[in-house]
Structure 1
Amino acid sequence: MFRITQYLRLLARAAREGDFPPPATPRGPAGDDRPAARPGPVVIWNLIRRCNLTCQHCYALSADHDYAGELRTDEVFTVMDDLRAFRVPVLILSGGEPLLRPDLFPIAERAVALGFYTGLSTNGTLIDAPVAARIAATGFDYVGISLDGLRATHDRFRRLDGAFDRSLAATRHLRARGVKVGLRYTLTASNAEDFPALLDLMRDEGAQKFYFSHLNYAGRGNIHRGKDARFAATRQALDLLFDRAWDAARRGLDEEYVSGNNDADGPWLLHWLQRREPTLYARHGAALRQRLQAWGGNASGDLVANIDNLGEVHPDTMWWHHALGNVRQRPFSAIWSDTSDPLMAGLKQHPRPVGGRCAACAHLAICGGNTRVRAQQISGDAWAEDPGCYLDDTEIGLDGSNPRTVLTTPFRSRRTVPVVVEAGAGA
C-alpha cells in the first residue's frame, strides 16, 4: 500500500516550515540505538469465501454458496495467538463477504482484545443500522467499503441492482456511530469516468479514507484484464488523486488517500511533484526520494501476507494460485519465515531479482520491482518486468532503445515457468 497522504503531509509541512524530516531510524524498546525487533507482516485474512455478490474483478472468484473445509473458530483463534506472538500488527478481516461468517464478531472481538489493529473489508450491502451498531461496539479500527463507480456503474460491476444504494447507506450508518470508514475503488477502463465523482462523494459523505486500487491480475480480475485502464488513463487518474490529496494536506483536512497494486505510484509522485510544484521539488525532492526508498515499494511476501479461507498462506491476496503452506499443518510464523520456496526467497530479497525494464529502472529502490503477480500472469515468469508499469522509458531513466518486452494480452489460460532464485537469495 502506498500512503500518499503521509508523504504529502510532510511536503505541506516542509512548505510551511522549511524542513523535510529524514526517515526515522527504528529504535529499541528502551529508546536506545539498538534496532527494534522487526514486526511481522500485515495479514489480510479471507475468513470466508462465500459472498452475496459476484463482482467482475473478484480475486477470490467468490459466489453465493458455502465452501467446504474452511477454518473453524477454534482454529482461527489458535492461528491468531501465533500471529500475535510473531508480532503481526494488523489483521484485515475479509472474504468473500466476511459478514456472512456467523462467528465474525467473536473473531473480531478476540483480535481487538489481543491488540491487533483490526480492519473489516466488506462490500457493505449487509450493513444496516443494527449491524453498524455491532461493528462499532466490537471496536473495529477501520471499515473499508467498496464503491467502484456511481450507481449504474457500481451495480453493473457488482452484478446486483441496488448494491450502490445499500453500500452508501452502510457508510452513513457507520459514520453516524463514529466508525472510521473508507471507500475502496478499483480503476478499469469501464469505470474510469466515474472516478472524479467518487472523490467528490467521499468528501461529501465524510468518509475519512479513499483507497485507490489498480487492477491486479488474479481471479476475475485476471480474466477481465483486457478491461484494465490504459497507461494514459492511469496517469490522469493518479494526477487527480494526488491533486486531491495535496489539497487535503495543505488544508489540514482529516482525509487519507492511499493506493495499491501498482508501486509505480511512488516514482509517479516524484514526477507529479516536479510538474505541479517545481520549487518545492527543487528544495525537497531529494528528501522525498529518500523517504520513498525507505518505504521500498511492493511488500508482498515480506511485510504483507494472506491467509485464505482454507488456511493456505499466500504471499498476498493476488497469489491464491501459489500456496506456501497451511496453518493446520504448520504455524503461520514457521511458514512465513521459510525461504525454501523460491518465490518467497525472491520476494524477500532486496533488491528483488527482476528482469527487463524493471532491472534497469532508476526507481527500483522505490517500487521494489512493482507487482510480481502481474508479470507472472502475463509472461509466466514472476521476475519479468511488470506490464502494469505506466511510466515510459525516459521517466525511469532509460534511453528508449529497449521497448517493452512484456505486453498485456487478453486472458486465455495461465502459463508458468519455474521460479528460480540464485542460491543465497532472501538470506
Structure 2
Amino acid sequence: MQKQTVAFSRDSSNLFFHILTKCNLSCSHCYINKDQHGADTLDIATIEAWLDLFATKASSTNLIFLGGEPTLHPDLALAVKAAKKLGFKSITIDTNGYLFHDILDKISSDDIDFLSFSLDGATPGTNDTVRGQGSYKKVLEGIEKAVGKGFSCSMIYTVSERNLHEMKQMPELVRNLGIKRFFIQVIGIRGASAGHPLQVSRKAWLDTIPETAEKIAGQGIIVTYPKVFLDPEDKFECAGNVAENFFVFPNGRVYQCPICEDFPLHSYEIRQNRLVPMPRLNEKDLFGLNIPEGCVMNKLLQPQNLAYDTAGRPEYRIACCMLKEEIMPSRIAL
C-alpha cells in the first residue's frame, strides 16, 4: 500500500454543485443552512447555465452534484448529461441511497464516474440515529443495486463522537459491498451541528482513523481522509491560495472554503448567470493570514479542536480542511 498526502494544485479544480437544498432526511450533522444557502430547486436551464460558467476549465475540473439530496431533483439525469457534454474531468453524484426518480434507469455508468453513498454507522442503530430511520438499509440496498448495474460506487463516512466507536467495524462491513473508494470526513461545526459540537479529539482521531483506513485499503479499496492535524515538519497551505475549489449553492453564493458556509463571506455570487466577485470583506481576505494555529478559519469558527501549552503556544497546527491523505492499495478492487 502507498500512503500519500494529496498536494494542492492549480491544475486541478473541484466544483461542488448544490442543485437544491431539499432532502428527505434530517441528518443531525447536516451542513446545509437554508438561511445562507437558499431553499430553491434550480431548474435545468439554470443548472446548465451555471455549469457553463466553469466550462473553460471543465477538462481539469471534478464535478460533484450535491443537495440536499440531488436525486430528488427531477432533472438530475439531464444535468449529468449536460455536464458530460461539457467535458468535465469527472462527474460524481453524492446520495443518501434513496435514489429517487429512478435515476439509475435514466443514466448509465458511462455518464458518471462515481455514485457516492453516505453512511454514518456500521450498524442501523448508530447510522439511523444520525441520519434517519431506515436509511442504513436504503444505503446498502442502493449500493447493491448500483453495483449490479455497473456503476462505480464509493462510500462517505462522516466521523463524529456519535459514530467513532463503530469506525473499526467498517472494514468488515465494506469487504463485500463492491465499492471502489472510501471517504472519511471530519464533522464540521456548521449547519445543524453548529450548536452541538461533535468533533472528536486529536487523540481519538489519530488512534482510530489511520489504522482503520489502512485496513480498508488492504481490501483493495482506495481510502481518502482529511489530514486534520499537521505533523511538525509539514508546511501549512490554504487551499484558497493554492487550489481551486468552488462550493455553489442555489441562492447563487459561491464559496471557496466550506468552513465559511454559515456566513456571508462567499468569494463570488452568480447573478444573471454571471460569476461576480464579492466586495471586501470576504473569505479571500482571510486566506492569506499566517497564524501559529494553521488554518485561520478553524481558529475563528471552530477553535474547539485546538490545544495550547502553559506558555499559550499551540501544541499542534490544524491543516486546511481540503488537505487529504490517500492510501492506494497494492491491489485495486475490481
TM bucket normalised to smaller: 0.7 to 0.9
Cα distance in 2 for residues equivalent to 1:373 and 1:155: 31
Instruction: Indicate whether 1:231 and 2:202 are aligned.
Output: yes
Which of 89, 105, 109 in structure 1 is aligned with 2:61? 89
Which of 57, 71, 78 in structure 2 is aligned with 1:99? 71
Once the two structures are superposed, residues 7-60 of structure 1 have per-residue CA deviations (whole angstroms, 9 ceiling, x without a partner) of: 29x9xxxxxxxxxxxx99x9xxxxxxxxxxx44631111110000000000000
Which of 126, 131, 139 in structure 1 is aligned with 2:111? 139
The CA deviation at 1:174 is 1.1
> Aligned partner of 2:206: which letter?
R
The CA deviation at 1:119 is 0.7
Which of 7, 15, 22 in structure 1 is aligned with 2:4? 7
Q: Which has the higher helix share?
A: 1
Do the aligned residues in 1 keep the contact of 2:147 with 2:153 (CA within 8 Å)? Answer: yes
Do the aligned residues in 2 keep the contact of 1:44 with 1:317 (CA within 8 Å)? Answer: no
Q: Which has the higher strand share?
A: 2
Do the aligned residues in 2 keep the contact of 1:263 with 1:297 (CA within 8 Å)? Answer: no
The CA deviation at 1:331 is 2.8
Of structures 1 and 2, the larger Rg is shown by 1
What are the residue-to-residue correspondences of 1:205-354 with 2, within 5 Å? 205-225=177-197, 227-244=198-215, 247=218, 253=220, 255-260=221-226, 263-264=228-229, 267=231, 298-300=238-240, 302-320=243-261, 321-322=263-264, 323-329=266-272, 331-332=274-275, 334-335=276-277, 340-347=280-287, 349=288, 353-354=289-290
Determine helix, strand or coil for the equivalent of 2:175. Answer: helix
Assess, with a 3 A threshold, how the Cα gap between structure 1 residues 93 and 5 changes in structure 2: closer, same or farther. Answer: farther
Do the aligned residues in 1 keep the contact of 2:16 with 2:248 (CA within 8 Å)? Answer: yes
Residue in structure 1 matched with residue 125 of structure 2 by the alignment: 152
Instruction: Indicate whether 1:77 and 2:48 are aligned.
Output: yes
Assess, with a 3 A threshold, how the Cα gap between structure 1 residues 68 and 241 changes in structure 2: closer, same or farther. Answer: closer
Q: Which moved more, 1:48-57 or 1:317-326?
A: 317-326
Structure 1: state its 5+ residue gaps: 11-22, 27-37, 272-288, 359-368, 379-385, 394-398, 407-427
Which of 104, 113, 121 in structure 1 is aligned with 2:94? 121
Matched residues, number: 308
Cα distance in 2 for residues equivalent to 1:165 and 1:329: 42
Do the aligned residues in 1 keep the contact of 2:257 with 2:283 (CA within 8 Å)? Answer: no
Of structures 1 and 2, the one scoring higher in RCO (CA 8 A, sep 6+) is 2
Assess, with a 3 A threshold, how the Cα gap between structure 1 residues 330 and 387 changes in structure 2: closer, same or farther. Answer: farther
Do the aligned residues in 2 keep the contact of 1:136 with 1:174 (CA within 8 Å)? Answer: no
Assess, with a 3 A threshold, how the Cα gap between structure 1 residues 214 and 174 changes in structure 2: closer, same or farther. Answer: same
The CA deviation at 1:377 is 2.1
Determine helix, strand or coil for the equivalent of 1:263. Answer: coil
> Aligned partner of 1:167: which letter?
V
Structure 2: state its 5+ residue gaps: 317-334
Cα distance in 1 for residues equivalent to 2:190 and 2:16: 15
Do the aligned residues in 1 keep the contact of 2:259 with 2:301 (CA within 8 Å)? Answer: no
Which of 42, 47, 50 in structure 1 is aligned with 2:14? 42
> Aligned partner of 1:344: which letter?
K
Determine helix, strand or coil for the equivalent of 2:271. Answer: coil
Instruction: Indicate whether 1:189 and 2:161 are aligned.
Output: yes
Once the two structures are superposed, residues 223-265 of structure 1 have per-residue CA deviations (whole angstroms, 9 ceiling, x without a partner) of: 221x3222221111223234326645xxxx2x111113x532x
> Aligned partner of 1:375: which letter?
K
Cα distance in 2 for residues equivalent to 1:208 and 1:318: 28
Assess, with a 3 A threshold, how the Cα gap between structure 1 residues 40 and 82 changes in structure 2: closer, same or farther. Answer: farther
Query: TM-score scaled by structure 1?
Result: 0.63
Cα distance in 2 for residues equivalent to 1:339 and 1:204: 51
Do the aligned residues in 1 keep the contact of 2:49 with 2:273 (CA within 8 Å)? Answer: no
Do the aligned residues in 2 keep the contact of 1:47 with 1:71 (CA within 8 Å)? Answer: yes
Determine helix, strand or coil for the equivalent of 1:319. Answer: helix
Which of 280, 291, 301 in structure 2 is aligned with 1:377? 301
Cα distance in 1 for residues equivalent to 2:26 and 2:2: 32
Assess, with a 3 A threshold, how the Cα gap between structure 1 residues 131 and 318 changes in structure 2: closer, same or farther. Answer: same
> Aligned partner of 2:223: which letter?
Y
Cα distance in 1 for residues equivalent to 2:29 and 2:279: 30
TM superposition outliers: structure 1 runs of 4+ over 6 Å = none
Cα distance in 2 for residues equivalent to 1:241 and 1:108: 33
Which of 30, 33, 39 in structure 2 is aligned with 1:58? 30
**Percent identity, aligned pairs only?**
19
Once the two structures are superposed, residues 147-202 of structure 1 have per-residue CA deviations (whole angstroms, 9 ceiling, x without a partner) of: 0002111111012x211001111111111122111111111111111111123212
> Aligned partner of 2:94: which letter?
S
Residue in structure 1 matched with residue 325 of structure 2 by the alignment: none
The CA deviation at 1:300 is 4.5
Do the aligned residues in 1 keep the contact of 2:143 with 2:153 (CA within 8 Å)? Answer: yes
The CA deviation at 1:84 is 0.9
What are the residue-to-residue correspondences of 1:22-37 with 2, within 5 Å? none
Do the aligned residues in 2 keep the contact of 1:145 with 1:171 (CA within 8 Å)? Answer: yes
